[in-house]
Amino acid sequence: MRDPTIRSGERERKPTLLFVDYQVPQYDLYAGSRTNFLYLKLLVESGLKVLFLPADFQRLEPYSSELNRLGIETLDGDWYRDHWDDWLRDNGVGIDFVFFNKPEPTARFLPGIRQYTPAAIIYQCHDLHYLRLRRRAELEGDETLYDEAKRSESSEDAIFAASDAILTFSSVEEEILRGKFPLKKIFTVPLFFFDPESMDPGGSPGFENRRDLLFVGACSHAPNRDAIEWCANEVLPAVQARIPDIVFHVVSAHAPPEITRLESKNVRIHGRVSDEELEDLYRSSRIAVIPLRFGAGVKGKLVEALHHGVPVVSTSVGLEGIADIDQLIPARDSAGAFADEIVSLYRDEPRLEASARQSIDFIRSRFTTTAAAARMNEILDAALKEASSRGAAPGPDTRPGYRPPRVLAFYLPQYHPIPENDEWWGEGFTDWRNVKKAEPLFDGHYQPHEPSDLGYYDLREHDARLAQAALAKRFGIDGFCYYHYWFNGKRLLEEPLQAVLDSGEPALPFCLCWANENWTRRWDGFDKEILIHQDYTETDDREHIRSLVPVLRDKRYIRVNGKPLLLVYRPS
């Protein structure tokens, strides 16, 4: 967004974004976590107030504290786990964006988000899970994986259909998504992004001082386990036959026994390493290998290797999703072709040097923080427009068979003076005058009933309206139903609602009730004396509806099954 500030009368507030993922990102362990950490920083730097919801509600150190240091509030701990629905019900109207990641936490929290918030829904697709499962099923000939892929596709498609903006890292997956959802706002975004000053390879040792192969990827991810085993068992022996002392270095946290038992003089399993140790491995390695045989999405290990200026040998799966990458790196999918490419590149120092320079240039042209920030502003604007066009507002619960009631309070705007009431009832008239002169009608009748919490407020005052909403929320009121007065093109008592629309506050949901009747002197016993009357014509009806359109489009406006709720007093 070009200007992220939301102006509310004389005050301003930052738009609020809720970021949802499995858990707090462990950015030094997993590529997906590093991606999310980068985007969280970018969103804060874009001027948003960012809240982070870990689906497991766990506080994980030092990572949670690192988010807090960035100014991100983490919604973690037992209280949020036990009271999440209550928190969302009370605070949802103040959330402008929800940024979802991965299918499972999205499917879990999306119904509540749609029920209690007016937020624009952004879904970041790290990869198409069903595509990864389908490819693995094809490789292994496993029918149960085919069935799982079909279920995953159905679940993911439902999420895409419910999103206002869809982000993908892969140009291949963007094409698939556009084919399925041609009307959706779909954006390809960088998996990682870097500051230009971090892209200078000048301090790296020359290739005469580098040796060996490097693979980086967590063993918790099935494609990585398969890649390590395939490379060690099928590719490496053919390489060793020509380069006997070559070592295959594997950086992979939580390696299971089938991986650790591959360790030998030519295979070294490093497990988890520090950032500094990983940096040293990139600087000393001659080639990074990406021997993935199935998977989906853009691979963080590829972007990292390019950023460090390390030449790459990869399968087509490892290269997938980055436009024009085939002009830099040829895909090699059979074990023999993969081994031949390693040997050819390993022995050719001029080619290695040229590949390193081209890799840095490639990253510098496509994966910068500046470009990512501009893309994110475009995405936020598009998501807001889409949410507005679908009339996003707290709506009915989408869980099957469940329709929780919402408690609304009728809101009478007679508690501020207007010229018409001055003329009809005396200068400065408001309904407080009638409250004050009330008398008991029977023994024990408590009259006049003095206002306690807020006193004799004036609805022209911004703080009075905010205090009303806060009091309503405290006692379980889900929204206000404002009385609306329209007499043949003339509005009365419209100032409080207009101020709510203009200021954006309070955030409490609302709807309208058209007080469809003549105004008379009924309270004085002269109900035949009409002060202002209703006339009904088709022209006036159309003008009335047109005048309400801006109100009905407000993101706080209450909807039932997606349609704005409008009450009519005495419709007959």
Distances (CA, A) of 363 to 35, 199, 204, 560: 16, 8, 17, 48
3-state secondary structure of 21: strand
Cα of first residue to Cα of last residue in the chain, in angstroms, is 47
* CA neighbor of 383 nearest in space, from 179, 555, 155, 557: 555
Contact 246, 266 (CB under 8 A): yes
Per-residue pLDDT for 6 more than 80?
A: no
Q: What share of the chain is helix, strand, coil (3-state, %, to 5)?
A: 45, 15, 40
DSSP assignment string, 182-207: TTS-EEE--SS-B-GGGG-GGGSPPG
Q: What would the DSSP string read from start to end of 503-553? A: H------EEEEE--S-EEEGGGTEEEEEEE-----HHHHHHHHHHHHHHHT
Q: Which residues contact 61 (CB under 8 A, 6 or more apart)?
A: none
Q: 307, exposed or middle or buried, with CB in 10 Å at 0-12, 13-18, 19+? A: buried
Question: According to the model, what pLDDT value does residue 55 have?
Answer: 94
Query: Is a pLDDT exceeding 50 seen at residue 396?
Result: no
Strand partners, 17: 50, 97
Domain ranges of the chain: 6-193+370-389, 198-365, 408-568
The two domains 6-193+370-389 and 198-365 share their CATH topology (first three levels equal): yes
User: Which amino acid type is present at position 420?
Assistant: E
pLDDT above 90 (res 68): yes
Strands 312-314 and 287-290: parallel
CA-wise closest residue to 291 among 358, 346, 337, 243? 337
What class is the 6-193+370-389 domain? alpha beta
pLDDT of residue 201: 52
**Mean pLDDT score of the chain, rounded to an integer?**
86
Given this model, what pLDDT does residue 399 score? 38
Distance CA 227, CA 231 (A): 6
Listed residue (95, 155, 94, 167) closest to 130, CA to CA = 155
Which are the contacts of 63, defined by CB distance < 8 A and separation ≥ 6? 24, 25, 26, 27
pLDDT of residue 273: 84
Confidence of residue 397 (pLDDT cuts 50, 70, 90): very low
CATH architecture classification, 198-365: 3-Layer(aba) Sandwich (3.40)
Question: Does the pLDDT value for residue 564 go beyond 60?
Answer: yes
* 3-class secondary-structure state, position 220: coil
Q: Which of 397, 378, 398, 381 is nearest to 389 (CA)?
A: 381
Residue 232 has pLDDT above 90, yes or no: yes
What average pLDDT does this structure show over 39-65?
Answer: 94
pLDDT at 404 over 70: no
Q: Answer whether residue 70 shows pLDDT above 80.
A: yes
* pLDDT tens per residue across span 486-523: 998 889 999 999 999 999 899 889 999 999 888 876 65
Contact 488/540 with Cβ under 8 angstroms? Answer: yes
DSSP reduced 3-state for 246 = coil
Residues 518-551, buried b or exposed e (16+ Cβ, 10 A)?
ebeeeeeeeeeeebeeeeeeeeeeeebeeebeeb
Instruction: Work out whether the CA dihedral 245, 308, 311, 293 comes out positive or negative.
Output: positive
pLDDT digits (tens, 9 = 90+) for 347-389: 999 999 999 999 988 888 888 888 888 899 999 999 988 888 7
Kind plus residue range of the DSSP H or E element containing 11: strand 11-13
Least confident of 65-79, 123-137, 261-275, 323-337: 123-137
| Tokens linked to 351 | 């080619």
Q: What's the mean pLDDT in 416-439? A: 88
For 492-505, give one letter per residue: b (16+ CB within 10 A) or e: bbbebbebbeebbb
Per-position b or e across 35-71, b if 16+ CB within 10 A of its CB: bbbbbbbbbbebebbbbbbbbebeebeebbebbeeee
Percent of the chain scoring above 70 in pLDDT: 92
Using CA atoms, how far apart are residues 375 and 398, in angstroms rounded to an integer? 31
Give the pLDDT confidence score for residue 149 in this predicted structure.
84
